[in-house]
Amino acid sequence: MLLGIDHIVIAVSNLEAAMKSYRELGFTVVPGGRHPVGTYNGLISLADGAYIELISFYRDNPQHRWWAPLQQGGGLVDFCMQTDDLIGDTSKFRNAGVHIDDPVPWSRTRPDGYQLKWLLSLVREGHRGVAPFLIQDLTPRDERVPKEKNHRNGSVGIGKVVVAVDDLSTVGRWYETATGRAGETIEDERLQSAGLRFRIGPHVVELLQPVARKSPLTSWLKTRGPSPYAATLHVGSTAFGLLESRLTQGANLHFEA
């Protein structure tokens, strides 16, 4: 069963600069370490158990699934779901029509030398970021997720991920099959869009399709294709609104009470 969002992925061209700018925004950012595939990251751990991953490349890897989105401007490029049944949930998404691979082993070496290991079911190009990739830890998850969860800006968790889609009925069926329930019909006047909302554990995934040419999602789909568009962060304070794009490295992030 899907348990909720494990983390959201923000691709950045310069990791050190990105970590600095997120600290300016009031986040506590912890160096995460290096993956053998040429990426390294900084992590923002949240009290709800999810986290934000700032990821960049320490060497070129055009075959990596986040290389091309980074060349398009980076920002929010993907998200990962926790599951207590990796094989079963992988099969559910595949049976629904998602191009998702069987679980494969991955690893990351923290700055202190500790090697983290997990299994990932990765979604292939075209469906990447529209359906989540899935994770199951082999080493303890508490070792993968930083323990520093307090932030000056009051962030306590992820509220939702908004995914821009151009075929709502198809993507909606993916999530209905994976979650075992129908989505809630929604409209977003600000984004001039309509779609479906799925509650998964403590988090929400909204699938939105533009209903007007002037919708911001219309131009997004033309340049980025179906993909994550925005995410909201719960804050235990009066802070709210859109975070400055210059500091978020192009990611559409909003604070909400």
The pLDDT tens digits of the residues spanning 160-214 come to 999 999 999 999 999 999 999 999 999 999 999 999 999 999 999 999 999 999 9
CATH topology of domain 155-256: 2,3-Dihydroxybiphenyl 1,2-Dioxygenase; domain 1 (3.10.180)
Q: What is the pTM of this model?
A: 0.96
CB atoms within 10 A of CB 213: 8
96: which 2 tokens? 């629904």
91: which 2 tokens? 């099969």
Domain ranges in the chain with CATH number 3.10.180.10:
2-144, 155-256
Tell me what the pLDDT averaged over the chain comes to.
96
- Residues 39-67 have a mean pLDDT of 97
Residue 242: which pLDDT band, with cuts at 50, 70 and 90? Answer: confident
- Residues 239-255 have a mean pLDDT of 90
Residue 239: which pLDDT band, with cuts at 50, 70 and 90? Answer: low
- Residues 140-151 have a mean pLDDT of 96
| CATH match of 2-144 with 3.10.180.10 | yes
What is the dihedral sign for C-alpha 247, 126, 100, 107?
negative
Residue 218: is its pLDDT beyond 90?
Answer: yes
